Amino acid sequence: MWGSFFRMGFRILVRQRKYFLLNLVGLSIGIVAFVFIYLYVENALYYDRSWKNYPHIFRVNETYSTGGKEENMALTPYLLSNKLKDNFPGIIESTRLFFTDPSDKNDVSSVNFQGKMYDIPNLTIGDARIFKIFNYRFTEGNPDSCLLKPNSMVISVAMKQKIFGKNFALGEKLKTSIRTYTVTGVFDRKNRPSHLDFDAVISTNSLDKLEQKQLNTNWFWMNCYTYIELADSVDAGNLMRRINYLTDTAIGHYIKKQNFKIGGYIHLSLQPIQDIHFSQELLYDSHSNINITYLYIFIIVAFFILLMASINYVNFATARSLKRAREIGVRKVIGAFRKQLMVQFISESLIITFSAFILSLSLVELMIPAFNNLVNRQITLVDSLFSGSGLVFGFLLIAFMLLLALFSGSFPAFVISSLEPVEVLGGRGVVFKGKKPYSFTAIGLRKFLVVIQYFVAIGVITSTFIIFAQIHYVKNLPLGFVKKNIVVVNRPADTSFRGRVKGFVEALKSDSAIEQVATASNLPGYLIGKLLLRTGDSSSAHLQTMNGFFVGYHYFDVLKIPFVAGKDFSSFKKNDSTEYFILNQTAVKSLRLEHPLGSFLYTPSAKKGLVVGVVKDFKFSSLHQKVEPLVFVLSPHFVQYVVLRINPAKRHEALSHLQTVWGKFNKGYTLYYTFLDNKLDSLYRSDQKMLSLFSYFSLFVLLISALGLFGLSSFLIEQRTREISIRKVLGGSEKQIVLMLVKEYVALVLVAGILVSPVVYFFTKKWLSSFAYHIHLNVCYFVAGIGLVLLIAFVTVLLQALFMVRKRLAEALKYE
């Protein structure tokens, strides 16, 4: 029986191409969106779960408190790793990895191979045991010994391909401006989604001996991530207490020895490795971390998209079957059984869902590179869908398709075939048993389903508008300094640059295209040092941790930061006995200084500094945070960056002058520079990503709902052809009739808009509150969201209505 019904199904679908295509496209879009979101979510949940012993791997985090203010960070001192391994037999392995900021490059981040330079996006320094815990598959070299020797470098497969192509990399030499490394291994990052995203690792033994010695004694130099692997029997909580006991004692000794006058403590904690990807509150944490709320929102959106696509599908099927009510009535009279009718509908439905399934998976496969690019992942369909937990998802997806086919096939079949033939054929319209006109309940149900669609569409679009507005606001907020036309040049890696810096700066100034030049170690949007200051020499004095900017002369001039009191550093000479400080307004407040100018502040090692000026508060970190206390320390010799303000009209000239001067002063070193406004924008990269994802969601949702409405209204209006014609004969003008048709849908959009607005308000308000500086929600965003959906609904229905109204009258009015 099924065979012949499938053949008949194919014939019917070929004849009803419009219906078939509408369903196919609508359903496929829904599945494509759903699968993509699934892949993303699955990948995120799988982060750091691929390590062979992941339930026993932890990162050691640190709570650092001085001056009453606690700070949680992912960084720990270098020496911690060995201390832990040596003292606790329950720790099987421990390793450390240096913190690097991949967005802050200098010439060490690119390597020279046979005269060509290759940029390594994320280069770090790691311990010899790192691959014992993180068991990457090695395509070349030995993971256990690859980082033992000084000047060893291990690279990722992607890097290897970029530099060496198909050739082997093992033993090859890679040069940076200061060293030559030997490639000792190639690791494969495939199927290892992780917060670790280094492209190459240099052995810690490569650090110079003096630096290693300092690192091995200093408890307050937080620059490494420490990972430990515990034995199965070890209880993490208990271990933690013992570790803290050890470190408290060790730090106590250390402070005494260094003669620090410091209050406060360091507290260590263990974080399960698989939780890192979702952790948000730690300083210096991986920049690939995501907010788990986003994930929840994605999942909700995914289900809504699938729901909408399914609703459309069932809707189309029902609407279309109503058109066939009379035909079915006749079939029943001829002698078709209800079961046969059901089989007929279901086989049609199966053909459609199956085609949609194949089509959408092919589309996903085609679009996955673009998707990976967008979300910055390496996801493959085969690995995610046809292995492990993906197999379950694949199975569920197929089961869902079958269910959908069954439901959308049987629902109309059930409704229609349950009608009494005499009612369908009686020429009195389609009627339910209770003499209730069937079309009424059907219209009610369908209206409800349409409202759900609009609900989602308006919700997602309004949210997108709000996210967009906020990001626009953040990017354009007056920051209190000039961020345009500021070029930040990274210093070359060699230590002798110190001696050249003065000449370099003077040479830069010689071209009028460069307006002003300063040196600095800290800039807005870059990493910020922390400094502990107290207002007096005595231990009762007020203590405060502050953000510290170490800057040279002309800094305030370059960035045009205004002063509220005092003056800049230009009339002070750096000397050994006194430091010179400039505070921001918040720092003055938090130190409770009544007369800041001329007062002295003290560092933990009791060095004193004179406050020579107060600047107006400016926004020096991400706008997620409020302005914090900040102190500028005059340090003309501590140079990380050379900062230039250039004349925008002579931008090209300025940059080429920079290139020339760089070449003259730093032969053999690569010039790395960024524009400060770009760097600042990158602070909102994850927000930006959220925006682009949401824009895609909106597009999908809009497309699906427009398609749904198009199909549904075309069926509904088609069904009303006769009514429309009667109205025309009775004197209704085209305009009146089209308006009547459109009005109904407009009302539905408005209802949905009113229902969804509070929901959007609630969620976006929450999101906005994660910014210290944010827009205020007003009715405009909601009106705009509703307006856009309204416009789309209007156009879709209008086209249909116009087409239908123009149809020939006599045909429609014919006796049936």
Partner 1 sequence: MIETKQLKKVFRSSDIETVALAGINLRVEEGEFVSVMGPSGCGKTTLLNLLGMIDTATSGNYRFMGKDVFQLSEKQITRMRKQNIGFVFQNFNLIEELSILENIELPLIYQGVKKSERKKRVMEVIDRLEITHRKDLLPVQLSGGQQQRVAVARAIVTCPRLLLADEPTGNLDSMHGEEVMNILDELNKEGMTIVMVTHSHHDASYSRRIVHLFDGQIINENLNRI
User: Which positions touch partner 1 (CB under 8 A)?
Assistant: 427-429, 431, 435, 437, 439-440, 722-723, 725-734, 736, 808-810, 813-816
Q: b or e along 61-76 (b: 16 or more beta carbons within 10 Å of the residue's beta carbon)?
A: bbebebbebeebbbbb
Closest CB to partner 1 among 300 and 425?
425
Minimum distance from residue 806 beta carbon to partner 1 (Å): 9
Q: How many CB atoms lie within 10 A of CB 114?
A: 10
Among residues 224, 220, 187, 219, which one has the least CA distance to residue 207?
224
Closest CB to partner 1 among 71 and 723?
723
Minimum distance from residue 814 beta carbon to partner 1 (Å): 8
Minimum distance from residue 291 beta carbon to partner 1 (Å): 50
Q: Are 416 and 321 in contact (CB under 8 A)?
A: yes
Minimum distance from residue 736 beta carbon to partner 1 (Å): 7
Q: How many CB atoms lie within 10 A of CB 235?
A: 10
Minimum distance from residue 691 beta carbon to partner 1 (Å): 45
Cα–Cα distance for residue pair 332/323, rounded to 1 Å:
16
Q: Are 654 and 515 in contact (CB under 8 A)?
A: no
Minimum distance from residue 330 beta carbon to partner 1 (Å): 18
Closest CB to partner 1 among 432 and 773?
432
Percentage helix, strand, coil for the chain under 3-state DSSP, each rounded to 5: 55, 20, 30
Cα–Cα distance for residue pair 641/632, rounded to 1 Å:
15
Minimum distance from residue 438 beta carbon to partner 1 (Å): 10
Minimum distance from residue 737 beta carbon to partner 1 (Å): 9
Cα–Cα distance for residue pair 683/691, rounded to 1 Å:
14
Task: Please calculate the CA angle 185-187-193 and round it to the nearest 5 degrees.
Answer: 160
Q: Are 210 and 239 in contact (CB under 8 A)?
A: no
The two three-digit tokens of residue 344, written as one number: 């007929």
Closest CB to partner 1 among 55 and 426?
426
Closest CB to partner 1 among 610 and 802?
802
Q: Are 64 and 221 in contact (CB under 8 A)?
A: no
Cα–Cα distance for residue pair 643/654, rounded to 1 Å:
13
- Tokens 């990380």 belong to which residue? 640
Closest CB to partner 1 among 257 and 814?
814
The two three-digit tokens of residue 13, written as one number: 């679908």
Q: How many CB atoms lie within 10 A of CB 727?
A: 16
Q: What is the DSSP letter of 431?
A: B
Q: Are 154 and 146 in contact (CB under 8 A)?
A: yes
Closest CB to partner 1 among 117 and 740?
740
Q: How many CB atoms lie within 10 A of CB 165?
A: 8
Closest CB to partner 1 among 151 and 439?
439
* Alpha helices, H only, 171-274: 209-215, 236-258
β-sheet bridge partners, residue 77: 222
Cα–Cα distance for residue pair 200/612, rounded to 1 Å:
45
Q: What amino acid occupies position 748?
A: L
Closest CB to partner 1 among 431 and 597?
431
CA torsion sign for 676, 682, 688, 693 is positive
Among residues 551, 541, 554, which one has the least CA distance to residue 515?
554
Minimum distance from residue 342 beta carbon to partner 1 (Å): 27
* Alpha helices, H only, 720-733: 721-729
Cα–Cα distance for residue pair 660/577, rounded to 1 Å:
39
Closest CB to partner 1 among 89 and 731?
731
Closest CB to partner 1 among 472 and 722?
722
β-sheet bridge partners, residue 137: 188
Closest CB to partner 1 among 202 and 430?
430
Q: How many CB atoms lie within 10 A of CB 276?
A: 25
Closest CB to partner 1 among 435 and 776?
435
Minimum distance from residue 813 beta carbon to partner 1 (Å): 6
Among residues 364, 275, 262, 207, which one has the least CA distance to residue 49?
275
Minimum distance from residue 710 beta carbon to partner 1 (Å): 22
- Tokens 């092919």 belong to which residue? 362
Cα–Cα distance for residue pair 33/694, rounded to 1 Å:
12
Estimate to the nearest angstrom the gap between the alpha carbon of 30 and the chain centroid.
22
Minimum distance from residue 41 beta carbon to partner 1 (Å): 45
Closest CB to partner 1 among 755 and 813?
813
Minimum distance from residue 411 beta carbon to partner 1 (Å): 23
As a whole number of Å, the CA-based R_g of the chain is: 34
Q: How many CB atoms lie within 10 A of CB 662?
A: 21
Closest CB to partner 1 among 650 and 727?
727
Minimum distance from residue 739 beta carbon to partner 1 (Å): 12
Closest CB to partner 1 among 234 and 726?
726
* Separation in Å, CA 24 to CA 3, 274, 406, 732: 22, 39, 16, 37
Minimum distance from residue 419 beta carbon to partner 1 (Å): 14
Minimum distance from residue 473 beta carbon to partner 1 (Å): 49
Minimum distance from residue 727 beta carbon to partner 1 (Å): 7
Closest CB to partner 1 among 111 and 442?
442
